[in-house]
Amino acid sequence: MKLDHSYILPSLMALMVHIVVAFIVMSEWQSQSKRTPPVKIKQRVEATLIDLDSLLAQQKQVVSAADKKASDKKAADKKVADKKAADKKAADKKAADKKAADKKAADKKAADKKKVAKKAAKKAADKKAADKKKAAKKAADKKVADKKAADKKAADKKAADKKAADKKAADKKAADKKAADKKAADKKKAADKKAADKKVADKNATNKKAADKKAADKKVADKKAAEQKVAQELAEVEQALNNLLDDEDAQMQALEQEATNSQAVASAVNYIRNEIIQRWVRPANARTGMVVELVIHLVPTGEVVDIEIRYQDDSATDAFVASAVKAVRKVGRFDKLSQLKAGLFDANFREFNFLFKPEDLRL
């Protein structure tokens, strides 16, 4: 039998109440005996009457109060226990309800999931069936297409074989005709060569005969010309000896004039070069070794009327060439050239070739 712990505390309380009551009774009895001093009994007996009923009633009242208190406590404990049990029952019911709701939700979720899975399975099955049907149709179409392609291929092969056979026959016919034509052409060519060789031989013979005659005539003419030339040279030497003294002064004057002209030309060339150098702006990509030759067209006043690029080295960049042309255009007019004689200007500066090289400019 299982012990009910809810009655242990009231029982202990009741026991304690009884002990307290007994203790109180004993204390009261002792205090009564102490308060009454002993007297000498002179042959007299005094007795105190104890009302046992009253004492028992008091004890019973105390016990009854203890029992009531224990009973009240027991009732309160029972009420607390009942409340606790009710709360536990409510909590258990709530937990059970929650568990039932959770189970219901889980069952619904599982059912929904199962329904979705079933729907998905049906959809997959339908798709699989459709795919299978589509694959079957595709296979059938492919089979038809393959057969059609095979038939076409066979027809094409047959046509190609026929075409190849026809081509082979045509090629053989053409080759035979070509061989026959070549044979006829070779035969004609041999005949033509023989005729040409004969004609060349005849012509060579005629030319040799004419050349021999011409050589003989030339030899006679050369001999006659040599004799005339010797006579003419003798006459010219004699005339030269006669004129040598007369021309000496004129030659000296000509040499002096030529030296003067050469000096003037060199001075003009240096002048032109310096004018161009002063106005030339070297581009960033200019390097030693670049060459450009310009043809500068001038008029007697020294004015530049045109510039041509006659030559440029492979290393010369467009910027380098453009910078040289621009320098000449900046000069515009070489004033000092107007001081030259007309003949000297026409001979040297009407078209002036200017070779432009960075090393000449000490760069």
Lowest mean pLDDT among 2-11, 134-143, 180-189: 2-11
Domain boundaries, the chain: 5-112, 280-361
pLDDT of residue 42: 52
What is the average per-residue pLDDT within 23-45? 65
Output 256-259 pairs: Cβ under 8 A, ≥24 positions apart: none
**Is residue 363 pLDDT above 50, yes or no?**
no
Fold for the domain defined by 280-361: 3.30.1150
| 3-class secondary-structure state, position 164 | helix
pLDDT of residue 122: 86
**Is residue 72 pLDDT above 50, yes or no?**
yes
Separation of alpha carbons 356 and 321, rounded Å? 9
| 3-class secondary-structure state, position 285 | coil
**Is residue 303 pLDDT above 90, yes or no?**
yes
DSSP code string of 293-331: EEEEEE-TT-BEEEEEEEEE-TT--HHHHHHHHHHHHHH
Name the CA dihedral angle for 7, 10, 14, 16, rounded to a multiple of 10 degrees.
110
From its phi and psi, is residue 278 left (phi > 0), alpha (psi between -120 and 50) or beta? Answer: alpha
In whole numbers, what is the pLDDT of the chain averaged over residues?
A: 81
